[in-house]
Amino acid sequence: MNEEMSGRLNILVSVNCTTYNHENFIAEAIESFVNQITDFKYEILIGEDCSTDNTRKIVDHYANLYPDKIRIITSPTNIGARKNSQRLIQNSKGKYIAECEGDDYWTDPNKLQRQVDYMENHPDCTLCFHSAEIIQAPSKRTDRFIRPYVTDQVSPMEDIITGGGGFCPTPSLFYPKNLMENPPHFYETAPIGDYPMQMLLASHGYAYYMDKCMCAYRSGVEGSWTNRMILSSNNREKVTQINSGIINLLNGFNEYSEYRYKNEIAKVQEGLEYELLILQKKRIKNKTIPNYSLMYKVSVHLKVFLRCNYPQLFMKLSSLKTTKYMKKPND
């Protein structure tokens, strides 16, 4: 039996889905997984993190329907999103991992096949992602898309670093499992998960973007990280902690990558440090960040003001920036 045929008989892809209190969304996610059309075997791992609603009941129903395809990974107590994601990776049997959280879903039955075909033919590619439609929870179409480019292309590392965690839609992420089996310390201690994962993966080869909308990212879900930020009663403190955490994360990645991207990292860190000065209400001297224009400084002050005092408005404006190319990619 040749190597190609063997790969088709063994599990090639693990679909990793973390879920917590997603009773209104998890069925749609699972349906989009099982409806994938592939010429290879894939498994579905659902990390059910002790939901307090009917999520577990729904997950059990689908696991009984597809016992040869779906595995539930859980524990007696809630362990949190980061550890939940990591234990799925540790339990995965596939060569590749496709990410999708329980409140998002895929919209193209050929998504996995397209990403596998590209990765198998381009072994130097270590992260593949694509466009996503933004759905306002529970199910409102917005006609907005996370679409960083208007054509299929290699995504420069600078874009991954300066783009933040929202640059690559989470339900589009596809990567080799071995690169995330033993993540470095900076990933495990980061205040956010997607951003360090994207940088870590892309640094081992390159990231490739497919200009095709094959998933839906649901915004405004109750209990999500973003929603908790919006509803927080101490936003100034929260933003300060997050900015400080991201600066530390970038320091860790800088060392991990042997300073190959030090200029791009310094650019992001300078902006975060400037925001921290504003948040801490310290006197800002020109020598702190000498190269920024007055217009930039005014915009950062406005950003910090909105983020701390009007977080819902800030998130709406941020989403417009994220969806720079609003037109739907060609099918």
- All structural domains of the chain with their residue ranges: 7-219, 232-322
Mean pLDDT score, 61-74: 98
pLDDT in tens, 238-248: 888 889 999 99
Q: What angle do CA 70, 166, 190 make, to 5 degrees?
A: 80
The pLDDT of 178-184, averaged and rounded, is: 96
What's the pTM value of the predicted model, to 2 decimals?
Answer: 0.87
Q: What percent of the chain has pLDDT over 90?
A: 67
| Rounded distance between C-alpha atoms, residue 28 and residue 184, angstroms | 33
Please report where in the chains the tokens 């540790």 appear, as a residue. 90
In the block, tokens 């190959």 appear at 260
How many Å separate Cα 69 from the centre of its chain? 24
Give yes or no for residue 14 having a pLDDT over 90: yes
CA atoms within 13 A on the CB side of 113: 9
> Do residues 210 and 115 lie in contact, with contact meaning Cβ atoms separated by under 8 Å?
yes
Q: What's the whole-number average pLDDT of the chain?
A: 87
Collapsed DSSP state (helix, strand, coil) of residue 307: helix
120 C-beta neighbours (distance < 10 Å), count = 15
In one letter, which amino acid is 142? T
Q: What is the mean pLDDT of residues 174-196?
A: 94
End-to-end CA distance of the chain: 36
User: Look-up: residue for tokens 């596809």?
Assistant: 174
**pLDDT confidence tier of residue 37, bands split at 50, 70 and 90:** very high
* Of residues 239 and 40, more confidently modeled: 40
**Fold for domain 7-219?**
Spore Coat Polysaccharide Biosynthesis Protein SpsA; Chain A (3.90.550)
114: nearest Cα among 138, 91, 131, 101: 131
For residue 180, what is the DSSP state?
Answer: G
pLDDT at 46 over 50: yes
Helix (H) or strand (E) holding 183, with range, is: none
Tell me what pLDDT residue 3 has: 45
pLDDT score of 298: 75
